[in-house]
């Protein structure tokens, strides 16, 4: 058979395949979420997320050291306070759980990029992401609270703040507050495209953040909508966000690509708790090869257009990169 073009020529050896590889995965692009909890001497397993834990501040050095040894230099900090109230006051308290966790992180590993999640759902007694009026989250009344949370997090050592609330105008409110406080060089990583997703279930167990009534569909996005995702992303770009997040990752690769193509700022995607727990559950049954699945999911996210990957498998992916299994 007379064939001139033979794509298989570039697949003949492992080194050849690596040389022509189009998508690269780098440890510097991995971000690991951490759950910090009020209390002492706590390393509490999260039942819905096997292999993940809640850490009191005094136990954080152990996970931070593990990450540093693995070569993972970026973390995303969430907090679980002992006390909750209607306005989520522990979210912006100077001695709040995230603020203390950030201080410990920068003390232990100043070289790490510490990203702080900015939201209220873990801190409110109603479990919603903002200020309630007649069981409705009031967008404009929530904005000053988010700005205050972000400022106290940066004062505690956050290198980046990441608003996940999905309030309209949140980037503007936070940017103005940070600039007024002198933090003009602190970037904002906006959860611009965050869908009301069933993939978040295990996280709500981990962070004790499930809403006490209703749902979050009046502020998180309808997963049917593509054009709205681009609208949300571009609005946050206009407001001055420095990064964008598309969340979840696995079922939203098309939107990662569209957002990446539509803007020139860095794009992250969050491989959320449901994605993690499904892999763990199937692997426990022997139905899948966990390592290969994890690697394939990571490469898929980067191939779709993400430049950063927020994942509970960050340590495992780093080890796979070291071993030459992906990269």
Output the domain CATH number for residue 108: 3.20.20.70
Rg (CA), the chain: 20
Q: Identify the active-site residue in 27, 84, 194, 315.
A: 194
Does 194 participate in catalysis according to the annotation? yes
Token couple for 163 = 């608003």
Q: What is the pLDDT of residues 101-137, one digit of tens each?
A: 999 999 999 999 999 999 988 898 887 788 888 878 8
Does 247 participate in catalysis according to the annotation? yes
* Mean pLDDT to the nearest integer, 239-244: 95
Asked, for residue 230, whether it belongs to a domain, the answer is yes
Confidence of residue 217 (pLDDT cuts 50, 70, 90): confident
| Count of CB atoms situated within 10 Å of the CB of 22 | 6
Provide the 3-class DSSP secondary structure of residue 248.
Answer: coil
Asked, for residue 8, whether it belongs to a domain, the answer is no
Give yes or no for a contact between 145 and 120, defined as CB atoms under 8 angstroms apart: yes
Asked, for residue 5, whether it belongs to a domain, the answer is no
pLDDT confidence of residue 214: 57
Confidence of residue 220 (pLDDT cuts 50, 70, 90): confident
Q: Which of 278, 274, 272, 224 is nearest to 248 (CA)?
A: 272
> pTM score > 0.85 for this model?
yes
Angle between helices 314-322 and 60-70 (to 10 degrees): 30
Q: Identify the active-site residue in 27, 84, 247, 315.
A: 247
**How many separate domains does the chain show?**
1
Q: What is the pLDDT of residues 9-56, one digit of tens each?
A: 889 988 889 888 889 899 999 999 999 999 999 999 999 999 999 999
Q: Which DSSP state fits 98? A: H
Asked, for residue 167, whether it belongs to a domain, the answer is yes
Asked, for residue 124, whether it belongs to a domain, the answer is yes
Q: What domain range is 131 assigned to?
A: 24-322
CA distance 177 to 146: 10
Confidence of residue 213 (pLDDT cuts 50, 70, 90): low
Q: What is the pLDDT of residues 150-184, one digit of tens each?
A: 999 999 999 999 999 989 999 999 999 999 999 99
CA distance 7 to 268: 32
Q: Which DSSP state fits 50? A: T
């Amino acid at each position: 058979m007379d064939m001139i073009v033979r794509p298989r020529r570039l697949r003949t050896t492992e080194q050849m395949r690596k040389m022509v590889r189009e998508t690269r995965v780098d440890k510097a692009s991995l971000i690991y979420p951490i759950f910090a909890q009020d209390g002492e001497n706590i390393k509490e397993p999260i039942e819905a997320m096997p292999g993940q834990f809640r850490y009191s501040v005094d136990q954080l050095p152990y996970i931070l050291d593990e990450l540093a040894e693995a070569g993972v230099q970026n973390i995303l900090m969430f907090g679980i306070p002992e006390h909750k109230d209607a306005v989520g006051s522990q979210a912006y308290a100077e001695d709040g759980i995230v603020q203390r966790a950030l201080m410990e992180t920068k003390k232990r590993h100043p070289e790490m990029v510490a990203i702080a999640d900015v939201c209220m759902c873990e801190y409110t007694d109603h479990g919603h992401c903002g200020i309630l009026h007649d069981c409705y989250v009031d967008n404009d009344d929530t904005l000053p609270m988010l700005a205050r949370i972000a400022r106290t997090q940066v004062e505690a050592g956050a290198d980046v703040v990441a608003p996940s609330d999905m309030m309209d105008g949140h980037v503007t409110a936070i940017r103005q507050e940070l600039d007024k406080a002198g933090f003009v060089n602190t970037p904002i990583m906006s959860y611009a495209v965050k869908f009301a997703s069933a993939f978040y279930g295990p996280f709500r167990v981990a962070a004790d953040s499930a809403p006490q009534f209703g749902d979050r569909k009046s502020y998180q996005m309808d997963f049917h909508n593509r054009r709205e995702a681009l609208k949300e992303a571009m609005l946050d770009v206009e407001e001055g966000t420095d990064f964008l997040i598309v969340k979840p990752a696995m079922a939203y690769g098309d939107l990662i690509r569209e957002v990446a193509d539509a803007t020139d700022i860095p794009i992250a995607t969050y491989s959320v708790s449901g994605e993690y727990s499904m892999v763990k559950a199937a692997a426990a049954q022997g139905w899948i090869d966990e390592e290969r699945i994890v690697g394939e999911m990571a490469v898929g996210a980067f191939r779709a257009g993400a430049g950063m990957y927020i994942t509970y498998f960050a340590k495992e992916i780093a080890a796979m990169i070291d071993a030459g299994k992906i990269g």
